[in-house]
Amino acid sequence: MIGNIDMSLVDWSRAQFALTAVYHWLFVPLTLGLSFMLAIMETIYVKTGREEWKRITRFWMTLFGINFAIGIATGIILEFEFGTNWSNYSWFVGDIFGAPLAIEGILAFFLESTFVAVMFFGWNKVNKKFHLVSTWLVAVGANLSALWILVANAWMQHPVGMIFNPDTARNEMVNFWAVLFNQVAVDKFLHTISSGFLLASMFVLGISAWYLIRKREEQMAKKSILVAGVFGLLSSLMVAYTGDESARTVSKVQPVKFASMEALYEGKNNAGLIAFGVLKDTDKKIGEKKVKEFAFKIQIPGLLSVLTGGDRDAYVPGLKDHISGNEKLGIVSTAEKMQRGKYAREILTSYIKSRLNNDSAQISAIKGVFRDNDFQNKYFRYFGYASIEKPEDVIPNVTTSFYSFHLMVVLGFLFIMIFSVALYLLFKGTISDNRWFLWIALLSIPLPYIAGELGWLLTEIGRQPWIIQDMMTVSKAVSQISTGSVITTFILFAVLFTGLLISEVSIMIKQIKTGPKH
């Protein structure tokens, strides 16, 4: 127990949400990418009138449908958990966080679900062009769903466009467009959907490679590889570009996460970008937390300074700068932020007492304080630091952050190579003869899933202890329910989701072995 917070409840609530999110993300990216690939394949069919493209489209559409149905089930449970397990969070920011999720349900989900029936069951029942439009609208709807969910998550990483209402003790949205066009949201959306496109391309490439290995459906496989190779190469390049842009944004709005990604404890000029490294424990500490050092590393000199500051001489702050502060750079120490957060909390407590005592003069005075921009920018923005016990508690798990980020980057470059080789061999006309590459493509299917999960691991672990950056800690967000009920539902969800995953994989394997209908 910390204060009156049951940390076992917090840990189990986090575990349950993480379990649901991890399983959900096994299904979502394939839906995002495969929907557009279906639209591209069907467009080729409508333009050329060649029946083989219709057959190819319908085959991949069957696999899309299996994945689509199961993804919806996990997504609904995930959204309900905000109310059941994180009710304090939902109360504190529900007016903001709920808006994107509501739009997702009203606009994107209905757009997607309305036309998905036409897409699956409308073959030979509606004309070609209407069916094609339906397929494109399903793709747009699926990705719009991702947009609004990612906008909500981005706001948690970088809260903007809101004001705190002391009467309700809630944050309220005052600028919808600031929330929508939050730079974190823009980067996150582009990076996430392009990674989904990449994953779907690898999925199609790998399965097509299996057909070539088995010397089955060779024409279908080669045509599918053509679409997957082009779409995948463009997507993998987009992933690299948006990942770089996202890292630049993180360095500005979540600098502690950024320093953890690079395991950068001491800030420096001419900071090198770590291409590969192995961390080890040391006897050094920041407060009570052990400092990690590199047992081995390969770095590109000066590149981190160039990427974040524009030149090699730019200073990149380290974790020690953010904990102890750096006056030259205008970095406020964590201890000072804690004091400012406590002051903001005291003002709120005084306001609540004034309302209970019906002290209208004091109520009016404190309301004026809350409306003051200086108070908002200097004190209330650090409201969450009032819940921090020790300055070093704001440092996330450096080992997890570092390895998640760097493994994801390594995999990203590997994907560019795989798609490039696939297209080279395809245009050379020797792809069927290079069984070594076909096996690499087949065995690479799980890798984009791993990269995607690593990305979310970095996103969420890297911002701990915050559920809303600088404003609310995870421990303050949890619902006051029994730990036993969370453990019970955790076990139930683990069994349910594992069963769904096994079912999906089994059905897909059976469908792939059956092959497209003639």
Query: What is the mean pLDDT of each successive set of 10 residues along the chain, which is 518 residues long?
Result: 65 87 86 93 92 91 83 72 81 79 72 79 86 90 86 89 82 88 93 95 96 91 94 95 91 91 88 87 86 87 83 87 87 92 90 85 82 84 91 92 92 95 94 93 95 92 90 87 88 89 89 82
In a domain, 260, yes or no: no
Point out the domain boundary residue: 342, 366, 395: 395
In a domain, 2, yes or no: no
User: Are 66 and 122 in a shared domain?
Assistant: yes
Point out the domain boundary residue: 344, 379, 395: 395
In a domain, 138, yes or no: yes
In a domain, 78, yes or no: yes
Other CB atoms closer than 10 Å to residue 48's CB: what's the count? 11
At 219-231, the pLDDT tens digits run 999 999 999 999 9
User: Are 391 and 401 in a shared domain?
Assistant: no
Point out the domain boundary residue: 395, 414, 445: 395
At 473-484, the pLDDT tens digits run 988 888 888 888
User: Are 167 and 87 in a shared domain?
Assistant: yes
Cα(107)–Cα(144) distance, integer angstroms: 8
At 300-313, the pLDDT tens digits run 888 888 888 778 88
pLDDT at position 109 is 66
User: Are 281 and 320 in a shared domain?
Assistant: yes
User: Are 238 and 139 in a shared domain?
Assistant: yes
User: Are 329 and 243 in a shared domain?
Assistant: no
User: Are 374 and 436 in a shared domain?
Assistant: no
> In terms of Cα–Cα distance, which of 331, 344, 353 is closest to 386?
344
In a domain, 158, yes or no: yes
In terms of residue numbers, what domain contains 46? 7-254+396-514
User: Are 384 and 412 in a shared domain?
Assistant: no
User: Are 33 and 179 in a shared domain?
Assistant: yes
Other CB atoms closer than 10 Å to residue 278's CB: what's the count? 10
Structure tokens at 496: 């349910």
> In terms of Cα–Cα distance, which of 36, 131, 158 is closest to 468?
158
User: Are 155 and 243 in a shared domain?
Assistant: yes
pTM of the entire structure?
A: 0.90
Number of domains the chain is built from: 2
Please give the single-letter amino acid code of residue 453.
E
User: Are 195 and 225 in a shared domain?
Assistant: yes
What is the distance, to the nearest Å, from the Cα of residue 76 to the centroid of all Cα atoms in its chain? 17
User: Are 177 and 28 in a shared domain?
Assistant: yes
pLDDT at position 1 is 39
The 3-state secondary structure of 308-363, one letter per residue? HHCCCCCEECCHHHHHHCEHHHCECCHHHHHHHHHHHHHHHHHHHHHHHCCCHHHH
In a domain, 1, yes or no: no
Cα dihedral value 416, 422, 423, 425, nearest 10: 140
